[in-house]
Amino acid sequence: MIELSGEDGPSWQMGFAGDTFNTAWCMRALLHPDTPVDFVTAFGDDDFSARQLAFFEQNRIGTSSSPTLPGSRPGLYAITLEGAERSFTYWRSDSAARRLAEDEVALAASLRDRSMIYLSGITLAILEQADRHRLIGALEAARGTGTLIAFDPNYRPRLWPSKTEAQQAITAMLDVTDIALPTFPDEADLQSDRTPSDTATRLADAGIAEIVVKDGTEPALVQHDGATNFVPAVKVDNPVDTTGAGDSFSGAYLSARCLGDDPVTAALKAHRVAAAVVQVFGALAPVATLRNAFDDQTAKPA
């Protein structure tokens, strides 16, 4: 999506971001340069879409077989800040990304031969039901060939026609998920979970082997191979912008797992990266900031 941020009177700064793209950005920064990182979506054919594609290419993020749709355009959102907390205003009802799963052949080509695929509940929410089913089917096929599926439910009520539809779609997605990265307040809202342990138990009962329940500045619950650990966050005295913190946590966690770290070590690194992200403005922290935080073993937990 196009991101408008940094309001200064009538002027705004334009960039590109969005929850899954923020995660891809983080993974691109942290993984080896020869490791391919692709962002699968659909693009318009307007000037802003051309700028998106140029930005992706400049930053070595591929787009695989993502289709270009004549007459379409990107979604748009604006960030407003009150202290370090942010709020969003969206314009995306006719964005190209809502049609990313229409072309079954292109979608299958984009998902083929991947070691890992990551998506979020926002991905599901913006799709029509038929496209949502098509996407989950394509993910199930990819998983059947050995691809790991990572999923953040990322529940945003305003994007769903009803809570019931959100629950049904997310439950269907969890059936093909290997690594779940939920955020506890979202799960409390959507599923009425009372504690992060409730969330982990519910997901484990659904057959998910690796679970990381994020909870802001509280410890993350990491459950894997029958072990449960609470991994403390990193204390930040003066956060300036929480945009993209959870997405970057997910990107750092998945990067660490791809690089061979165990889940607890991966969560420690993810907390360090998230703490660094809330100390800069905007969703996409500089690459050096992400890398330094990922490797910094001196950061103190909260």
**Stretch 277-299: mean pLDDT, rounded?**
90
Q: In the structure, what pLDDT confidence band is assigned to residue 301 with cuts at 50, 70 and 90?
A: low
Return the H-helix or E-strand segment holding 275.
Answer: helix 263-277
3 burial class (0-12, 13-18, 19+ CB within 10 angstroms)?
buried
Query: In this structure, is residue 94 part of a structural domain?
Result: yes
- Is residue 247 in some structural domain? yes
Q: Identify whether the C-beta of residue 163 lies closer than 8 Å to the C-beta of residue 190.
A: yes
DSSP state of 98: G
Query: 229 by DSSP, 3-state: which?
Result: strand
**What's the domain count of the chain?**
1
302 in a structural domain: no
CATH number of the domain residue 84 falls in: 3.40.1190.20
Q: What are phi and psi of 50, to 5 degrees?
A: -60, -40
Q: Tell whether 45 is covered by a domain.
A: yes
Residue of 110, 112, 86 whose CA lies nearest to 4 = 86
- Rounded alpha-carbon distances, angstroms, from residue 221 to 203, 205, 259, 273, 292: 12, 16, 21, 17, 24
Q: How far is Cα 33 from Cα 276, in angstroms, rounded to an integer?
A: 22
pLDDT at 252: 98
Question: pLDDT tens for residues 140-193?
Answer: 999 999 999 999 999 999 999 999 999 999 999 999 999 999 999 999 999 999
Residue-wise pLDDT for 95-151, tens only, equals 999 999 999 999 999 999 999 999 999 999 999 999 999 999 999 999 999 999 999
Distances in Å between the Cα of 247 and the Cα atoms of 44, 177, 196, 243 are: 25, 18, 18, 9
Whole-number Å distance between alpha carbons of 171 and 153: 9
Which residues form the catalytic set? Answer: 247
300 lies in some domain? no
Say what the pTM is.
0.94
Average pLDDT over residues 278-298: 91
CA-to-CA separations, 3 to 107, 187, 241, 243, in angstroms, rounded: 25, 26, 14, 11
Domain hosting 177: range is 2-295
Residue 249 lies in a domain: yes
E strands, the chain, are 2-8, 11-16, 76-82, 85-91, 116-120, 148-152, 179-180, 210-213, 220-224, 227-231
Residue that has been written with the tokens 């002027």 in this structure: 11
Question: How confident is the model over 218-256, as pLDDT tens digits?
Answer: 999 999 998 999 999 999 998 988 889 999 999 999 999
Phi and psi, residue 86, nearest 5°? -115, 155
pLDDT average, residue stretch 71-89: 81
Start-to-end C-alpha separation, the chain:
33
Closest Cα partner for 243 from 53, 77, 119?
A: 77
**Non-local CB neighbours of 32 within 8 Å, separated by 6+ positions:** none
Nearest-CA neighbor of 120 among 146, 67, 81, 159? 159
For the chain, the average pLDDT equals 94
Confidence bin at 299 (pLDDT 50/70/90): low
